[in-house]
A = this chain, B = another copy of it.
């Protein structure tokens, strides 16, 4: 509290110079604004009533349970007040992303001071009654979270898991040429991996086309219980660290508020001037190069302006100020300390008799949509426009008959995305994101209409690399995910292409985003944003260049743990279904769509017309592959995913040839959520429809792309579940041939045939012989690949066709005759 006193003295005597841009009057006003936000921050954490301390503070005015985080708030508050100053002064379009998410009290306080809070939440009015409710609701039953959350006006950044502030900030700045994203990085957060690479966003920000991120490292020195290492290295080292990452660092440092106010005002004026100069240089002068963007190191005490000591223990400027600096409020001396602390902000100078913020102070904030708490970029749905879409049916792979065409599904998707890109080049609201896997996942056709974005040095031999590219490639799934989230939450569209196994890297980021969407669905003023779309290829079943370490289909298990109304999972079996699903994903809002499909050449099953119908249903009987027409089948062969579909059809072919009397129904699932009961997911099939498809009592052999337990988990309440036999990935890896991978996991055609025979004992002796032949075929295959290193031609060259195709034979016809 002493330092605040110093501030007051200092502010009374300061005079305006280049280094000290604030006049004495301005300094006094901005300090008062800061005090007001500090007062409201403390009030939210502690007070239940008596918000302006008009009566002596007693225990009953204080919350019974004290929750929240004070430590970061005063620093965030000072930054906010000063950003307001430059916004007003320069008519800036700016949003504020704060990494220290538990600085909730700060952002709520400022939204309240700016009037936005009362506009969104009329019950929290701009008067003493509203202030009491503002205080009470904080981290209180029926109230608001203690962290920055969707409920917080002006935020696009969940105050949960740390690490993504800069990635979100860069994502927001892309294609927003006039936007400055002020991004506070906590020095705790700065230790995380994602944040550590987040700084490198500057290698991808084009000053001609994009806005700007102004990073502010808030070096208040402490995390929950430990110092932060960036606060404990020499300043010279820290400076090199930022220069080495391509920034121009400015240091603002101190514990005397008056001095820090002046420094900060000066540095912010400088930063804004530089940002505008960089923009002008790139736009007016056409000098599109990677500039050294300014960034700020803001070193101020943790918990600044709270009591220096409490009960004889250091508090201000120490980790003890991190959460609630003082508990045990049954102690009268603690009540006195709190009262004294809050009164040190002199609320009587800040709020009038009715609890209204004094007009001369309120006038310091920008107005309308220049307020950071009301900037439409922070409620991106307001700005969202539909993509201009080509007709996906135009990209259809011709399928004269099922299995006739061989194509790479992912490449067909890439062609469609190329034209989505082309149609929206002017709108500048669509980008693709990938950790160096855009081409590997077969989206290279997109590069016909745009480049990969790159602001580091470009060599003549580089392949489709330019500052104007709209394909964002960096070898960091965290960065891709964070950029895309920032891009979507500010009202744009995108798709993330990733190897299936490594999408787990952003499991927890997905969590945070899904939770964000779930809460947004409950907040009317949050407008819907474009869905977060994942395309997972190079999937578990085809890791030819890689192996066991690259195999994991579990992301979808992770995804289905989240609320049904925000998640969708699709596993199209061929190109035309993939195209239909892609179109759907790009048109949807407020979902997370996960699409899993392969990139290798593989047989195509459905014409576009059939694919559209199939995707509309989400799952259905493939009549052309079934022979149960009009009858109850003897067995249901279900499949979900491209490789399981291939193996199922190959198994069906064998069965229909060798056991033609068997009635087989083939069901393909493209929309995984269809399997769930309708009461659990909006897409869920009714029990009646499910029973009609999967029967009530016939064996169901289910070939699944992922871990088999997921199918059981989705279907265990279904009538026929006890007869479900699911094959999927069992964490058995290989670096061998494609077919060996399915054999090792027993998802291959031969095991599927065995399953059918095992479950239909009535088939008798001929089936037993058939089963044995099938088994021998497997052993033969194993011998073949160990010798030749490739699948037997009858496997790699297999084709669908219930009439003309070969029987399960050997490579000679005499062997085949044994069956």
Contacts and interface: CB of A to CB of B under 8 A. Distances in A.
Interface in A721-743: 721, 731, 733-737, 740
B323 A545 contact: yes
A233 B308 CA distance: 45
B475 A785 contact: no
A296 interface: no
Contacts of A225: 436, 438-440, 463, 473
A309 to B, nearest CB: 11
Contacts of A550: 160
Interface stretch (A10-18, A144-152, A257-265, A650-658): A144-152
B713 A549 contact: no
Interface in A315-333: 318-319, 323
Contacts of A561: 552, 554, 557, 707, 709, 731
Interface stretch (A51-59, A85-93, A241-249, A811-819): A241-249
A805 interface: no
A106 B424 CA distance: 46
Contact of A191 (B476, B546, B788): B476
A237 B161 CA distance: 31
A196 interface: yes
B246 A244 contact: no
A465 interface: yes
A577 B812 CA distance: 64
Interface string A530-548: 0000000000000011111
A736 B139 CA distance: 6
A319 B557 CA distance: 35
User: Helix, strand, loop or mixed for chain A's interface?
Assistant: loop
A147 B196 CA distance: 27
Contact of A63 (B203, B557, B731, B789): B789
Given A64-B789, A149-B548, A238-B244, 8 more contacts: A143-B735, A149-B547, A160-B501, A233-B246, A240-B241, A314-B461, A502-B508, A557-B561
Interface stretch (A114-122, A489-497, A510-518, A766-774): A510-518
B545 A69 contact: yes
Interface in A171-217: 188-189, 191-198, 200, 203
Interface in A690-727: 707, 709, 712-713, 716, 721
Interface in A419-446: 436-440
B197 A193 contact: yes
Interface in A438-478: 438-440, 452, 454, 456-459, 461-463, 465, 473-478
A549 B475 contact: no
Nearest to A505: B508
Nearest to A552: B511
A467 to B, nearest CB: 13
A189 B146 contact: no
Contact of A140 (B160, B193, B552, B789): B789
A188 B477 CA distance: 12
A437, A459, A554: residue with the most chain B Cβ atoms closer than 10 Å: A554
Given A226-B473, A229-B203, A502 B563 contact: no
A501 B514 CA distance: 14
A472 to B, nearest CB: 11
Contacts of A562: 731
B65 A790 contact: yes
B508 A147 contact: no
A163 interface: yes
Contacts of A735: 67, 139-140, 143-146
Contact of A436 (B224, B314, B452, B515): B224
Contacts of A716: 712-713, 716, 721
A239 interface: yes
A64 B554 contact: no
A501 B509 CA distance: 11
Interface in A55-78: 63-65, 67-69
A505 B557 contact: no
Contacts of A245: 241, 244
A807 interface: no
A234 to B, nearest CB: 8
A48 B782 CA distance: 18
Nearest to A709: B713
Given A438-B225, A475-B192, A731-B562, A547 B141 contact: no
Contacts of A439: 224-225
A227 interface: yes
A65 B737 contact: yes
Contacts of A568: none
